[in-house]
């Protein structure tokens, strides 16, 4: 990178360049400097929820700790991604997250990487004994770090079927009133973006079950491959304004076949190729 707007950024003692307003995490990623993240997703920016990506930055007025995925650079500076102070903060964050989500494999790996002690330093309230939870709800409560990625993915699509609700120790991700939501299209984007694989869904031939609802999966009329739920397909087509009111759906084509036949409906609907 070069040009008039380039900032000089020293990271862990080595010189790099960055664009004005570029996030520290972006600069690190571009230069293959490892910074651990959980809630950050390239297509769903701005969450800044897990705090795991903290780094130290000195912009001329002393070191301060910032959240690198949402910290834009606007002057020359020095960044430390792995100082003793940062490692200590990450250990504390990981210990808290593991208390909240003891079943997350990714979290377990990070805890091991940062040498987080096994003993619990924090506690979190769980559903009262006697309250029956479904296996999916149990998994969610044991692996969700409340990063908000799933809810943001859902609202970004325009469905808004799930959201974070409640506060403090009873905060959770769910559908309204914990009931099957008519707004859910069964696309599985929430489960796909979840960093801890906390959202369970079952898929058997021709059917997907998620968030307490069963969805029929459509097969491509050209190649026969299962590719989307009926609701997902209809939603994408409507969103892409490719369907007129009352028109019955024409041939149901999977992604590959549709690409062959015409321009990509999903790309128009979701703003990116999937
Ligand atoms: S279910 Fe997954 S994506 Fe959603 S808030 Fe929990 S950890 Fe984040
Ligand atoms: S990755 Fe930056 S706050 Fe979660």
- Residue-level pLDDT at 175: 94
Q: How far is the CA of 147 from the centre of ligand 1 (A)?
A: 5
- Residue-level pLDDT at 1: 59
- Give mean pLDDT in consecutive 10-residue pieces for the chain, a chain of 274 residues: 76 97 97 97 90 97 97 97 98 94 91 87 61 84 94 92 86 91 95 95 92 94 90 87 50 60 47 46
- Residue-level pLDDT at 63: 96
Among 40, 37, 41, 25, smallest CA distance to 79 is for 25
49 lines ligand 1 (CB under 6 A): no
Minimum CA distance residue for ligand 1 atom 8:
147
Q: What is the DSSP letter of 244?
A: -
Give this prediction's pTM.
Answer: 0.82
- Residue-level pLDDT at 168: 76
- Residue-level pLDDT at 13: 98
* Ligand at shortest distance from the CA of 49: 2
DSSP assignment of 56-116 equals EEESSS-EEEEEGGG-B--S-EEEESS-HHHHHHHHHHHHHHHHH-TT-HHHHHHHHHTT-
Which tokens sit at 38? 């959980």
Q: What is the C-alpha R_g of the chain?
A: 22
Among 161, 31, 12, smallest CA distance to 87 is for 12
- Residue-level pLDDT at 265: 43
Q: How many residues does the chain have?
A: 274
- Residue-level pLDDT at 243: 47
Q: Does domain 1-124 have CATH number 3.10.20.740?
A: yes
Given a contact cutoff of 8 angstroms between Cβ atoms, the answer to whether 197 and 143 are in contact is: yes
94 lines ligand 2 (CB under 6 A): no
Report domain extents, the chain: 1-124, 135-270
Phi, psi at 65, each rounded to 5°: -95, 125
210 lines ligand 1 (CB under 6 A): no
208 lines ligand 2 (CB under 6 A): no
Q: How far is the CA of 129 from the centre of ligand 1 (A)?
A: 24
24 lines ligand 2 (CB under 6 A): no
Q: How many CA atoms lie within 13 A of 143 on its CB side?
A: 19
């Amino acid at each position: 990178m070069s040009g008039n707007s380039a900032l000089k950024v020293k990271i862990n003692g080595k010189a790099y360049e960055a664009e004005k307003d570029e996030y520290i995490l972006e600069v690190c990623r571009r230069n293959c400097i490892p910074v651990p993240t959980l809630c950050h997703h390239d297509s769903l920016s701005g969450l800044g929820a897990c705090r795991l990506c903290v780094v130290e930055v000195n912009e001329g007025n002393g070191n301060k700790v910032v959240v690198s995925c949402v910290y834009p650079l606007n002057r020359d500076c020095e960044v430390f991604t792995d100082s003793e102070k940062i490692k200590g903060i990450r250990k504390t964050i990981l210990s808290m997250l593991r208390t909240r989500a003891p079943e997350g494999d990714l979290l377990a790996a990070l805890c091991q990487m940062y040498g987080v002690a096994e003993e619990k330093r924090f506690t979190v309230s769980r559903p009262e004994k006697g309250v029956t939870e479904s296996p999916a709800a149990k998994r969610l409560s044991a692996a969700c770090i409340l990063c908000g990625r799933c809810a943001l993915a859902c609202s970004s699509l325009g469905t808004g079927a799930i959201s974070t609700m409640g506060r403090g120790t009873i905060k959770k991700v769910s559908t309204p009133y914990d009931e099957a939501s008519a707004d859910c299209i069964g696309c599985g984007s929430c489960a796909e973006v979840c960093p801890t694989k906390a959202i369970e869904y079952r898929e058997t031939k021709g059917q997907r079950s998620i968030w307490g609802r069963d969805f029929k999966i459509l097969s491509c009329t050209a190649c026969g491959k299962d590719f989307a739920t009926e609701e997902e397909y209809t939603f994408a087509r409507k969103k892409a304004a490719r369907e007129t009111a009352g028109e019955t759906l024409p041939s149901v084509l999977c992604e590959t076949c549709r690409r062959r036949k015409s321009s990509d409906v999903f790309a128009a609907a979701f703003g990116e190729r999937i």
